[in-house]
Structure 1
Amino acid sequence: MRRPTKGTWRRVAVVSLTVVCVSYAPVAMTELWPYARPGAPAFGEWLLGRMVSPSYVADALATRIAPYRHSLIPMIVHSVLGGVLMLLGPAQLFTASRRRTRLHRILGVLFAVTVYASMASAALYLARTAPEDAFSGAAFWIVLATILLGTVLSVTFGVLAAIGGYPDLHQRWMLLCYGYLLTAPLLRLEWGALPRLLPGLPMTAINLVAIQHLGSLVVFGALIASRTLDRRSRIDGVTGSWAPLPVLVAAHLAGAAGLFWIARSYLDFGATGHRLLVAYLLPYAVAYAVMAAGARRAGREGRGWAREEWRLHLTALCLAPVLSVGAVPVLERGLDLDPHTALTAGVAIGCGMLAFAANVVVSMRVMHAREVLKRTVSADRTTAVGVSAPVA
């Protein structure tokens, strides 16, 4: 039997992503219609009610009427534009892969404008909603605010990279931006799937389980996509490593200490803490194994740039628990949260924020390499002129 090739897996991934995005678009666009007009069709509620149970959906959404009503127009704008973004994402992948440069730029401008408008509407909702009134409470409000900020900054850096003539960095930032956007459909999928693994839990509890790993999953997917599309073995001007062995060792030690603290803290919260800890650790372990294997394989094959990018992201992943541990007292005291809520929120945002930081470092690495190359070329030209100049 013939084994699937990398090209086959790539096509499967693109088709799967397209199916998820196109299927979710009408769900997103109609999600809030019933709040504006009772009885209006909402495909997401209808599907979820049949996947789990009508009471599972009704009990969760009954508490949303008051918080959504005072920000209904911004929320509807956000959800409708979110559905549009689900359609624009696969279209951008298609135009980029087919070298449709003009169409890709036009759709790219539309995509960026839509992201800004959608996130502005979401920001208005968050500003009008107290953290404790958000769905699943303050932890989810903090996660939403973090994703919003990451999405806006990612698309901004992507636009600036395109203007500055860095197509590789543009690609990375836009993939990260779309990864943040994909938290919405993936969360809905987990609303339907996790009740089979965790029967009896309400959607609010399922929501807290999902946010423990959604951030790490989407940024990990963006990294895999970036590494798949970037086939360069080396980049001129990139020498050495910004994540040498001593840095990696220190990051691993700090990360292990952070994971130990997180595990011990979650275990103090009984069955709920055990559930959230497993939801965090399993995806984290998978991401770590893939990054470590990717860096090792790239090193053996002599692909220096791939090894460097894997190692930078691996370092960030190791430091994510450290950021989470540091965020817990800040959230607890700054927002007057109870220890359990602060822990849940701090753990939920760690991997997503450090992946963003890793993208920043990768971008600085590429830009530094270009500057080194420019200086080398300039120095060579100066030397050539000095050698060819006639002696007086």
Structure 2
Amino acid sequence: MHRPRKVTWGRVATIAVVVVCVGYAPIAITEIWPYSQRGAPAFGEWLLSRAVSPRYVADALATRIGPYGHSLAALIVHTVLGGALMLLGPVQLLSAVRRRVRLHRAVGAVFAVTVYVSMAGAAVYLVRTAPGDAFSGAAFWIVLATLLVGTVMSVTYGIAAAIGKLPDLHQRWMLLCYGFLMSAPLLRLEWGVLPSLMPGLSMADINRVAIMHLGSVVAFGALLASRGLDKRRTVAGVVGTWAPTPVLAMAHLAGAGAVAWIVWCYLGWGAEGQRMLAGYLVPYAVVYGVMAVRQRRAGREGRSWAREEWRLHLTGLCLAPVFSVAAGLAFERFMGLDRQTALTAGVTIGCGMLAFAATTAVSLRVLYGRELVKRERAAAAAARGTRQIAGTV
């Protein structure tokens, strides 16, 4: 008799991601069709109308006819190829796990080209759409622009890591890239689920709550996937930490001050501010708790590499509110946004931006370690050569 396989969280998460991606692909592909041809199928609208109400969907989409009409061709390219990326992503993940190298490389090349072309379509839409005309306002426009840049840069760094024969870094950047792409289906899920928790709100209101935490959720998911696939206890040349206790303590203090400022601001903006604050703080606290526990556990178990990666990301998470406050002040001053919109824009991109920065720090940590190993080997070879010369004299 065959013993049943043990079901792990990693396996469950992989299956869930594949199901969400495959299920969302036809929704993404058909999302813009009704704006170019009346009566065209739109599976997303059909599902959302039945999950919430037809009025909920109709009121939201009625405001999109003008902005989408200016960039229909670009949006169709973006959404159709976005649906293709939802299918290519699971193939890439499974081929990497099963070590199907040729398939992984071939699909990877198609994936990268598709990302660039799809994001080019999104860029055309953003350039032609004023921030205030974006769905639910300027904060969402800033979120979309940031996701676009983060996705393109992540896939570019992933390609560079693959060319440089750095599979561990390639894996991290591609997972972060796909995490940013996963923000699209996860946002649609929140459009359908949050109305049951917050009845009576429009889709635009729901969208404002959802984007408060979406960046932290997708970046955290990419980190969990990276750590789940990386079983190494140590990495050659990586000794000590770039986030010692004093640095981590200062990051905590700065982050606590910024969070206090964010809380004070949102509590002064009534019921809407309180909803948005809850949408930010609850997921942030969960992500912080998991990171803090994981880095401490890795230290106790002697897994120095896991501890270092968790600490770098924990430092980034602590500094995310500081970045959010600074970005909010910049948006208010240089984009002419009101304080609530400006701070919301800063909060929505803070965790994603600092996760990107932390992944960069992890990459530099690995590259620095490799350089140290090369120098040590060169010094050892030179010492051996010197001893051999001395022995022949």
TM normalised by structure 1 equals 0.98
Question: What is the match of residue 376 of structure 1?
Answer: 376
Q: Deviations over 1:50-96 (max 9, x none)?
A: 00000000000000000000100000110000000000000001111
Secondary structure in 1 matching 2:201: coil
Unaligned stretches of 5+ residues in structure 2: none
Question: What is the match of residue 252 of structure 2?
Answer: 252
Q: 1:5 to 1:352 in 2, by over 3 A?
A: farther
Question: What is the match of residue 114 of structure 1?
Answer: 114
The separation in 1 between residues aligned to 2:171 and 2:328, in whole angstroms, is: 33
The separation in 2 between residues aligned to 1:383 and 1:248, in whole angstroms, is: 39
Question: What is the match of residue 357 of structure 1?
Answer: 357
Equivalent positions of 1:33-182 (< 5 A) are 33-182=33-182
Equivalent positions of 1:269-288 (< 5 A) are 269-288=269-288
C-alpha displacement at 1:228, in angstroms? 0.4
The separation in 2 between residues aligned to 1:211 and 1:375, in whole angstroms, is: 46
Equivalent positions of 1:213-292 (< 5 A) are 213-292=213-292
Question: What is the match of residue 312 of structure 1?
Answer: 312
What is the aligned length? 389
Secondary structure in 2 matching 1:212: coil
Residue identity in the other structure for 1:80: V
C-alpha displacement at 1:343, in angstroms? 1.1
The separation in 1 between residues aligned to 2:176 and 2:6, in whole angstroms, is: 22
Q: Deviations over 1:22-76 (max 9, x none)?
A: 0000000001110000111100000000000000000000000000001000001
Secondary structure in 1 matching 2:11: helix
C-alpha displacement at 1:7, in angstroms? 5.6
Secondary structure in 2 matching 1:388: helix
The separation in 1 between residues aligned to 2:146 and 2:289, in whole angstroms, is: 26
The separation in 2 between residues aligned to 1:302 and 1:5, in whole angstroms, is: 28
The separation in 2 between residues aligned to 1:255 and 1:7, in whole angstroms, is: 37
Question: What is the match of residue 348 of structure 1?
Answer: 348
The separation in 2 between residues aligned to 1:335 and 1:91, in whole angstroms, is: 41
The separation in 1 between residues aligned to 2:99 and 2:156, in whole angstroms, is: 23
TM normalised by structure 2 equals 0.98
C-alpha displacement at 1:326, in angstroms? 0.4
Residue identity in the other structure for 2:226: S
The separation in 1 between residues aligned to 2:232 and 2:39, in whole angstroms, is: 54
The separation in 2 between residues aligned to 1:99 and 1:358, in whole angstroms, is: 27
Q: 1:214 to 1:5 in 2, by over 3 A?
A: farther
Secondary structure in 1 matching 2:8: helix
The separation in 1 between residues aligned to 2:178 and 2:171, in whole angstroms, is: 11
C-alpha displacement at 1:10, in angstroms? 1.3
The separation in 1 between residues aligned to 2:191 and 2:117, in whole angstroms, is: 27
Q: 1:321 to 1:5 in 2, by over 3 A?
A: farther
Q: Deviations over 1:310-354 (max 9, x none)?
A: 000000000000000101110011111011100111110000000
The separation in 1 between residues aligned to 2:6 and 2:322, in whole angstroms, is: 35
Residue identity in the other structure for 1:169: L
Residue identity in the other structure for 2:327: A
Q: Deviations over 1:111-143 (max 9, x none)?
A: 000000000000000000000000001000000
The separation in 1 between residues aligned to 2:283 and 2:292, in whole angstroms, is: 14
Secondary structure in 2 matching 1:380: helix
The separation in 1 between residues aligned to 2:6 and 2:198, in whole angstroms, is: 35
The separation in 1 between residues aligned to 2:27 and 2:222, in whole angstroms, is: 23
The separation in 1 between residues aligned to 2:223 and 2:93, in whole angstroms, is: 15
Q: Deviations over 1:212-269 (max 9, x none)?
A: 0000000000000000000000011011100000000000000000000000011110
**Structure 1 residue runs of 4 or more that deviate by more than 6 Å after TM superposition:** none
C-alpha displacement at 1:5, in angstroms? 9.2
Residue identity in the other structure for 1:328: G
* Greater Cα shift, 279-288 or 7-16: 7-16
The separation in 1 between residues aligned to 2:282 and 2:354, in whole angstroms, is: 18
Question: What is the match of residue 188 of structure 1?
Answer: 188
Unaligned stretches of 5+ residues in structure 1: none
C-alpha displacement at 1:387, in angstroms? 0.8
Q: Deviations over 1:171-203 (max 9, x none)?
A: 000000000000000000000000000000000
Question: What is the match of residue 207 of structure 2?
Answer: 207
Secondary structure in 1 matching 2:288: helix
The separation in 2 between residues aligned to 1:203 and 1:190, in whole angstroms, is: 10
Question: What is the match of residue 333 of structure 2?
Answer: 333
